[in-house]
Amino acid sequence: MKLIFAIVNSDDAAAVTQSLSKEGFSSTRMATTGGFLKMGNTTILVGVDEEKVQQVIDIIKEESQSRKVVIPTSTDIRFGGSMGAIPTQVTVGGATIFVVDVDRFEHV
């Protein structure tokens, strides 16, 4: 068995979990926060047999959009910059996916 962690935009999370559910996959949504942007995102956990991993990844990819986010980047006066902020564009997602082995699964 494998455990899939998929970090997705919170706006896509409902569509991802609904599509997973329609195809018979159980999932759990967790509210998480990106370490870089410090913005909310959603981490979806899916436990599946190894042969179903690609199907789950395909569903997640299908429902996860990439987005451009503009963030202020502060300049540092010590390195020749002036005080203030330069807007910088960052592309976030579609989804960041990890697949890990599960040693044991109990559903009691």
- Report the interface residues with ligand 2BA, using CB under 6 A: 7, 34-37, 39, 41, 90-93, 96
The alpha carbons of the chain give a radius of gyration, in whole angstroms, of: 18
Of 16 and 92, which has the nearer Cβ to ligand 2BA?
92
Q: How far is the CB of 14 from ligand 2BA (least distance, A)?
A: 18
The helix-helix angle for 10-22 and 53-63 (nearest 10°) equals: 140
Q: How far is the CB of 86 from ligand 2BA (least distance, A)?
A: 14
13: exposed, middle or buried (Cβ count in 10 Å: 0-12, 13-18, 19+): buried
Q: How far is the CB of 6 from ligand 2BA (least distance, A)?
A: 9
Work out the widest C-alpha separation in the chain, in whole angstroms: 62
Of 23 and 33, which has the nearer Cβ to ligand 2BA?
33
